[in-house]
Structure 1
Amino acid sequence: MKNLLSVLKIAVPHQVFIKDPETSDLGKRIVENSILLIDEIGFDHFTFKKLGTKIGSNESSIYRYFESKHKLLLYLSSWYWAWLEYQLVIETFSILDAKSKLEKAISILTKTVAIDSNFSHINEAILCKIIVNENSKSFLTKEVDKENNDGYFEIYKRLITRLEEMILAVKPEYEFALSLASSILEGSLHQHFLKEHFPSITNCKNGKTPTNFFIQLVENTLK
């Protein structure tokens, strides 16, 4: 089943791009190098002009794919959530026990990410770092409600509802399954951030991981 990832295309909402970057070599280089550049200088200092210099292309050529760096960040975050969703579906498909399936799902969604060789132009480990550090900038905007209504965050929300269904499979009467699911996804990003930048205020260190924390949290919550 894992081999399916090598033939599946990560589907990102078409609203976030003008031209699908997956359809050309230039588009893939834009995505690949935007990840590297954002990781290097941060999203606040990232510009299409700097990206154009990095890839040896005109700034205008990047605007043929994305109308703004905000839309590019939405693309990167959507790609990341879709990539996680594929892993979640494929790696839990054959698990019949509800508790085991939920534990596997939590592990997938909260683990430290490694590079996936199925997508050579995207460094998933670096992209994960960007999601941890910059993802909130994709939705903490004045336009969030309109963008939500337009479907920009459909993959992110679908991933949470998949996790909600697994929680309810363990304990159908639990009334906060959706809140728990979204807390796991967002809380994982926060714990990874604390682990990297504020280790004095998290227990996720010295061999303890966000995965350990959230599995224990969910087990105790659903007793």
Structure 2
Amino acid sequence: MDAILSNLKIQVNEKIYVKDPETSTLGKKIIQESIILIDEIGFEDFTFKKLGERIGSNESSIYRYFESKHKLLLYLTSWYWGWIEYRMVFSTSNIADSFEKLKRAITIVTEKIEDDNNTLHINEAILNRIIIVQFTKTLLTKEVDEENNEGFFMVYKRVINRIIECIQEVNPEYWYAKSLASSIVEGSLHQHFLKDHLKSITNYEGNLSPTDFYLDLVQKVIRK
């Protein structure tokens, strides 16, 4: 799978960016360093001016790729969910047992992320930390309906829809497949946040993780 992933280009809605950052060395540097900088100082304090100083380039050069830091965050989150989708597809392909397929899909979206070394300019482990803390900022805006109509969240919804399909394969009569699937994806981010910052209201001690919780949940909720 790693060999295949290394040759893949994650597709991001072209309306999110002004110029595709994957087409130039500067663009890739913008992506690489923005991930590191957002992780270090938070999205609220992140600015294109600070990013420009970090990469040794004019602030105006960043605007040639993204019209705002909101659009940059949309790009990063879209890329992340595209990467998750590819991993999910390869992990669940040719799996005959429907529950095993569901378990693999849930594991992909809930497990702790490690850098896969296939995308040298993107550290997926750091990007995952950004998604855990910042992803809801792409959704909780007044422009969410307009951006949804533009297809900005299409990949995110595809990830959820793949889990919905897996749930329906296991139990076609389960009525809440959509709500369960979206709760797993969104809830796992929140559980990782609690595990890292508010440990007293989680059960993740020792080797336990959000993946264990969600696998146990679906086992008890939908398994016939």
TM-score using structure 1 length: 0.98
* 1:135 correspondence with 2:146: no
SS where residue 220 of structure 2 aligns?
A: helix
CA contact (8 A) 1:191 1:204 kept: no
Displacement of 1:205 in angstroms is 2.6
Report the Cα distance in structure 1 between the residues aligned to 2:184 and 2:4, rounded to whole angstroms. 26
Structure 1 unaligned segments of length 5 or more: list them: none
* 1:112 correspondence with 2:112: yes
Structure 1 residue aligned with 2:78: 78
Displacement of 1:173 in angstroms is 0.9
Structure 2 residue aligned with 1:44: 44
SS where residue 37 of structure 2 aligns?
A: helix
CA contact (8 A) 1:2 1:90 kept: no
Structure 2 residue aligned with 1:17: 17
Displacement of 1:3 in angstroms is 2.4
Q: Which amino acid aligns with 1:17?
A: Y
Q: For residues 155-196 of structure 1, what are the alpha-carbon distances to aligned partners after superposition, in whole Å with 9 as ceiling and x for unaligned? A: 000110011000100001111101111000001000000000
Superposed CA RMSD: 0.7
Structure 1 residue aligned with 2:182: 182
CA contact (8 A) 1:164 1:178 kept: yes
- Among all aligned residue pairs of Structure 1 and Structure 2, give the percentage whose two residues are the same amino acid: 60
Displacement of 1:51 in angstroms is 0.1
Structure 1 residue aligned with 2:162: 162
Report the Cα distance in structure 2 between the residues aligned to 1:205 and 1:54, rounded to whole angstroms. 38
Report the Cα distance in structure 2 between the residues aligned to 1:43 and 1:21, rounded to whole angstroms. 19
Q: For residues 90-109 of structure 1, what are the alpha-carbon distances to aligned partners after superposition, in whole Å with 9 as ceiling and x for unaligned? A: 11102110010101111111
Report the Cα distance in structure 2 between the residues aligned to 1:118 and 1:108, rounded to whole angstroms. 17
Residues 49-60 of structure 1 mapped to structure 2, 5 A cutoff: 49-60=49-60
CA contact (8 A) 1:191 1:210 kept: yes
Q: For residues 9-66 of structure 1, what are the alpha-carbon distances to aligned partners after superposition, in whole Å with 9 as ceiling and x for unaligned? A: 1001111100000000000000000000000000000000000000000000000000
Structure 2 residue aligned with 1:68: 68
Displacement of 1:206 in angstroms is 2.2
Q: Which moved more, 1:31-40 or 1:199-208?
A: 199-208
Report the Cα distance in structure 2 between the residues aligned to 1:56 and 1:113, rounded to whole angstroms. 30
Report the Cα distance in structure 1 between the residues aligned to 2:32 and 2:9, rounded to whole angstroms. 16
Q: Which amino acid aligns with 2:49?
A: K
Aligned residues: 223
CA contact (8 A) 2:2 2:118 kept: no
Structure 2 unaligned segments of length 5 or more: list them: none
SS where residue 135 of structure 2 aligns?
A: helix
Structure 2 residue aligned with 1:99: 99
CA contact (8 A) 2:21 2:65 kept: yes
Report the Cα distance in structure 2 between the residues aligned to 1:145 and 1:128, rounded to whole angstroms. 25
Displaced runs of 4 or more, over 2 A = none
Report the Cα distance in structure 2 between the residues aligned to 1:166 and 1:6, rounded to whole angstroms. 26
Displacement of 1:204 in angstroms is 2.0
* 1:215 correspondence with 2:224: no
Displacement of 1:154 in angstroms is 0.4
